[in-house]
Structure 1
């Protein structure tokens, strides 16, 4: 191989491939309200010094790789409200690095260390957890109500109409639904006192011992009926009792 040919091949190896994205500054868009605080002049040079990634501000959000505004992931709170971050589709490694830094402890501490000339400073984002989705079980809820009336209503209030007519020492279904582990408790209610003394679930519980019959009219239930009962209970609104409930048998 001649010297000229070797030099040409080496040059091709060191040159960017046609169509490959070349390194360049990360394009960041922020609203004027944030830019006017002076924050960017504090944090961007520190980011660039640490990462060797340069950042430029662009006026057009459509041209930005990273956007700070009112949509996306919370990054910090401050003048103007809660500031959030969005990444453009296929933002590139530099933009992803900036996004990772902004959401890191180091990035947040850099933001918090900035003191505006006037007005309040910045704070960590106040993230409000989304309410947990209610568990709705599949099954015949109508049959579950019928089973509840037949098997449970003599001790528990199982529907709105009976909430004031149940035995006072036993919690209503609405109260039981407020337990975090209500599903496990209903699924195995037949094993929780006092139910084993008078409850029979076909294919699950053993027959009553001959010398220890049920002290009251026994409750008989199939597995399908138990699943329907749980489907019904899953649709009940949990009672609002204020303080968290303490787990106990029922």
Structure 2
């Protein structure tokens, strides 16, 4: 009469085992997104649109902006926390509330890294740098390093970028003369920021897709040429290659917009 009870127990045990097995995967998924609480005054400057896509492009971690005083893994405010950047009126502080959240911790570390600081200080409003680093307004020096495979990055650069840019001595005669070479781009002080965010700089958005980062092309606006389709790992490899490219000797300091 109660033969179904052992079967029910076995089914329940199986569900527990399955759920337990899924927990690490769910935890990993949670580590790929977190909430960032930011005041409206900071959002209105446009800094978040400049900053967050570049971090997500680099790491694959997505950030959800939430209003001030909302529960979040990280808070940017003028109150308590670690000072990370300043404008003419305010020093902005970061508080990491979720110390065990890998994605949030990575963002906090990135903001304090050389690449993160370059990204912050390269943000401009009306052509003028808007933010400086607390107690350190001078330009950041030192070589930027990337973890990708530079050999693979060279091959990817030739395949995807070489249609327009001179990316090495081998394709010098096959590129479009009006586009800057990798050697010239490498000579710019913010070359690393430019390459990390190239997908957002014209004309690239019209034909570039980065997996899990960019939105699909609108149906009514197909790419005008064969699209460039790469992954974050591909981009990391390209960045590693470009970091090894010798900057062009342009004589006087390069002035650019």
Identify the TM-score tier after normalising by the shorter chain. 0.3 to 0.5
TM-score calculated relative to the size of structure 1: 0.45
More helix by share: 2
Q: Which of the two has higher C-alpha Rg?
A: 1
